[in-house]
Amino acid sequence: MEEREVVYLDSIDGFEFERICQRILERIHKCNVEDTVPVGDEGKDLLIHSPSGLIVVECKHHPHSSIGRPVVQKLHSAVVSSNARNGILITTGTFSKAAYEYAEKLRRMGVVINLVDRAVLADMATKAGMMIVIDGQRVPVWSYDVSDKDRTEEMISEYLDQLYVSHPVKPSKLTKILGRDIDLIPTYEVQYSMNAVFETNAGIIHRETLTDGRFFVDGERGRVLMPELTRFFSPLPIRQHPVNSMNEWNPNSRAFSIGTSQVKEIASNEIVNRHTKNVRYMGRNNQSYVKTCAPNSRQFTITNIRQIYLPVNASRIQTLEKHHDLRYLEHPSGKLTFLNDDLSLCGICGKPVPGNPVLCNTCGTPAHPKSLFRAHSFRCGDCDKTLCRSCTAFVRNYLLFKHNLCRDCLTKYSSDRIRTYAPVAQS
């Protein structure tokens, strides 16, 4: 199924319905559709500036009622007063017999009033690349491709080889991938646009504009998920769930437990919080002021809410004597992002390594690189093998300097000369 923007009519108000109609008409007519003043619009919510003339549009979000003749008469008056070519009356409900009869009477008089009910609106939305959903109608759920076993192991191996400093053996050659599970996280992807202008008597002090804002909301608990998930998944193509590439893995999926109305409320609060700023400005009296600029619901539009399963991978790997439990995001294109830092934790002090850890080629422990103030890893002075502190011994040479050695190279020296490093206390 083709990916479409989904609009849940049950969760929007009349003002938001006007915005939806505006987007549909702009895509169909391929021209500017003007949004009129929301209060006192005199029967005209939108104005279509088409090449063949002005078209007046009235939008009525009444999904469970019928629009009668008076509303058609009001739109007719707006068409006449605006010197428009014709009018369009759009509703999420139905029209009465009297409304159809009056529209036909006007047509015979040369004034065209097109009546668009729920069914016609759904067809128009389809042509505009959107899907109208009402009364719990079933909608497609989406997900992302996942890699097969060979590709997954290849990506993890490439990541390990880039992450660690290891000699003489590459990390991928020392590592076994013991298994993989996939958890499908039920989420709602929220997309929105923002156009907020904040003014005082000193003039415009701040603007918030955005055309393609987006984030994920947990479909079980209603929490806004970490931005890393949005940055990773948003550029990737989605497919209708279930995705064929998951068949090999039998993924663990959990159910959606919150509805779109709740999601919309959560999303609205998140959008307001994201774009609320304290702005300092100079007043006309040359005094400095601070104003909290918080957008209201009329200054942003939630353009799309869709259900998506996010695949989160879990693998257990063994590098020589060490095991790591990994949680990560991946895509067959080769992108790989880890959600935990287990691979970068120093096995000597237990703290994260900010750069490239040294991988012990004796036991598989990651460790901080050796520095002037930290000695958690070493190189064997005879074979140049990378070592962690626990796997390193040393002997004193004639100048009393330490000569570091791996286990294999210790056999060249008498046991009475060999010393080991004291453990580092973990905080």
Residue 108: its H or E element: helix 97-108
Strands 366-367 and 419-420: unpaired
Per-residue pLDDT tens digits for 348-363? 999 999 999 999 999 9
**Residues 98-102: contacts with CB under 8 Å, at least 24 apart:** 98/68, 98/69, 99/66, 99/67, 99/68, 99/69, 99/71, 99/72, 101/69, 102/69, 102/72, 102/73
β-bridge partners, 34: 47
Domains of the chain: 5-133 (3.40.1350.10), 140-340 (no CATH), 358-420 (3.30.40)
Distance in angstroms (rounded) separating the CA atoms of residues 65 and 91? 9
Q: Which 3 state secondary structure label does DSSP give 267?
A: helix
Distance in angstroms (rounded) separating the CA atoms of residues 214 and 193? 9
C-alpha distances (whole Å) from 395 to each of 261, 402, 403, 412 are 71, 6, 5, 11
pTM (predicted TM-score): 0.72
Confidence of residue 122 (pLDDT cuts 50, 70, 90): confident
Per-residue pLDDT tens digits for 55-95? 999 999 988 889 999 999 999 999 999 999 899 999 988 89
Per-residue pLDDT tens digits for 208-237? 999 999 999 999 889 999 998 899 998 888
Q: Average per-residue pLDDT in the chain?
A: 89
In this predicted structure, the answer to whether residue 1 has a pLDDT above a threshold of 50 is: no
Radius of gyration of the chain (CA): 32
Contact 94, 67 (CB under 8 A): yes
Out of 32-46, 295-309, 354-368, pick the least confident: 32-46
